Amino acid sequence: MNRSAPSIPSAGDSRFPNAPLPPRAGAGLKADHIDAILADDYRIGFLEVHAENYMGDGGPAHRALAAIRAEFPLSVHGVGLSIGSQSGIDPDHLDRLARVVERYQPGMVSEHLAWSSHDAGYYNDLLPLPYNRQTLDRVVSHIVQVQDRLKRPILLENPSTYVAFEQSTMSETDFIREIARRAGCGLLLDVNNIFVSATNHGWKPMQYLRDFPLELVEEIHLAGHAEDTDDEGDMLLIDAHDRPVADAVWKLYEIVISQAGPLPTLVEWDNDVPDWPVLRREAMLADTILKRLGPASMLGSRHAAE
């Protein structure tokens, strides 16, 4: 017996209110947390899902996400488009992403400045790119292709990196700024990624922030990182997403909010995931900073006017 695919709700479907992400803290949605989130008196600002977890047509995952989407704004974060790949965007993967976006009408859609595929191979890592004109042209072309298919702009996330390329002719901040200018996309600023990359490469996080186009940022990510050492015994940070946000990253986040204003802020925790109250506590810390520093920020008026 043939079964038809579940109907896809339209943007005006009353079950899925077409609300933008609020300038509050959100959390990555985990299946084990869904009942606790729905029953919690604390109403988190929004929830974010990895698109690749919802590319099937139906089943318990979609039923649970539909219940969440009926009550909370949603952000869809992709991890598999491979925006920087020389092989180009996989049209089948892009179509599956488009169906998720059409189905749930998220407030924002984002992807990484990275590559994770080559020919028919896929890798379980978000791999870095050389920052030069050739790579820039390729990334811009791919983002335009994605945005045309999704019929909306996406956000591009700054990476955490562990190596640098001799072929790079631009700084990361100039590279990202030029991508956004040419592709018309927004930016997702991952504050933990800044701290991880700065430590690994020996540069200052504040210099990066001074050069970064904060006026184009529409969402922020926070996460925990793990400490390790490289082959020479120097400190190496890993973007592990398996523990609370570090104090140094919270301090950097405070600076970002004091400069950029209140922005939707996601707390990521993807490995060794704790019970919901632990993740909720991290989100509440971010909410406290947003309320305390956001209204007096330098760029805060841009959000109030929207």
pLDDT of residue 39 exceeding 90:
yes
Q: What distance in Å separates the CA atoms of residue 144 and residue 137, rounded to the nearest whole number?
A: 11
| pLDDT, mean over the chain | 87
pLDDT of residue 120 exceeding 60:
no
Q: What distance in Å separates the CA atoms of residue 154 and residue 33, rounded to the nearest whole number?
A: 27
Instruction: Return the C-alpha torsion angle 273, 82, 168, 195, nearest 10.
Output: -10
Phi, psi of 253 (to 5 degrees): -60, -40
- The DSSP secondary structure of the chain, one letter per residue, reads ---PPPPPPPTT-TTS---PPPSSEEEE--GGGHHHHHH-SS--SEEEEEGGGG-SS-SHHHHHHHHHHTTS-EEEE-SSS-TT-TT---HHHHHHHHHHHHHH--SEEEEESSEEEETTEEEEEEE----SHHHHHHHHHHHHHHHHHHTS--EEEPPP-S---TT--S-HHHHHHHHHHHH--EEEEEHHHHHHHHHHHT--HHHHHHHS-GGGEEEEEE---EEEE-TTS-EEEE----SPPPHHHHHHHHHHHHHH----EEEP--SS---HHHHHHHHHHHHHHHHHHGGG-SSTHHHHT-
Q: Which of 126-140, 209-223, 225-239, 251-265 has the lowest mean pLDDT?
A: 225-239
CB atoms under 10 Å from CB of 210, counted, come to 11
Mean pLDDT within 176-187: 98
pLDDT for the residue 24: 97
286 or 84: which leads in pLDDT: 286
Distance set, CA 108 to CA 22, 162, 257 (Å): 11, 28, 19
Name the one residue in this structure whose structure tokens are 């990555």. 28
Name the one residue in this structure whose structure tokens are 């600076």. 255
- CATH class for the domain made up of 25-300: alpha beta
Distance set, CA 22 to CA 72, 139, 176, 246 (Å): 10, 29, 24, 24
pLDDT tens-digit readout, 247-270: 999 999 999 999 999 999 999 999
On whether the CB atoms of residues 82 and 90 are closer than 8 A, the answer is: yes
Tokens of 193: 């990624």
Nearest Cα residue to 238 out of 141, 159, 162: 162
pLDDT of residue 8 exceeding 80:
no
Residue ranges covered by each domain of the chain: 25-300
Mean pLDDT within 217-235: 86
Bridge partners of 50? 77
Q: What distance in Å separates the CA atoms of residue 249 and residue 177, rounded to the nearest whole number?
A: 23
pTM of the model: 0.88
Band (pLDDT 50/70/90 cuts) for residue 292 is: very high
pLDDT for the residue 74: 97
